[in-house]
C-alpha cells in the first residue's frame, strides 16, 4: 500500500522560493537607455532631429527604389534581354 500525504504538494511557481536578488527582466536595457539618451533638452532635440533626417532619407530611398526597380524590370523585358516565364 502506498502512503498518501495529508497535504498535497503544490506544483508550479507557487512552490518555488522567492529570489529577490535578481533584477527584473529588462532592467539592464532600461539602465542602458538612460545612459544612452541625454538628459538635457538641447541634446535631446539634436537626437530627435537626427532621427527625423534619417527617416526622411529612408523614405526617399524607398520611393526611388519603388519607382526605379519596376522601370528597370519593364525596360529589360521591353528590350528583350529577359525571357518571360
Spell out the domain ranges in the chain. Answer: 39-85
Instruction: Find the mean pLDDT for residues 3-13.
Output: 59
Q: What pLDDT, in 10s, does the model give residues 33-78?
A: 777 777 788 888 888 899 999 999 999 999 999 999 999 988 888 8
**CA 15 → CA 1, 8, 11, 22, 78, distances in Å?**
27, 11, 6, 18, 72
Amino acid at each position: 500500500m502506498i502512503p498518501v500525504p495529508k497535504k498535497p504538494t503544490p506544483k508550479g511557481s507557487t512552490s518555488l522560493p522567492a529570489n529577490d536578488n535578481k533584477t527584473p527582466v529588462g532592467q539592464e536595457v532600461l539602465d542602458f537607455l538612460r545612459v544612452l539618451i541625454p538628459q538635457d533638452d538641447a541634446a535631446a532635440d539634436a537626437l530627435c532631429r537626427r532621427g527625423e533626417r534619417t527617416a526622411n532619407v529612408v523614405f526617399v530611398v524607398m520611393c526611388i527604389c519603388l519607382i526605379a526597380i519596376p522601370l528597370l524590370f519593364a525596360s529589360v523585358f521591353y528590350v528583350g534581354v529577359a525571357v518571360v516565364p
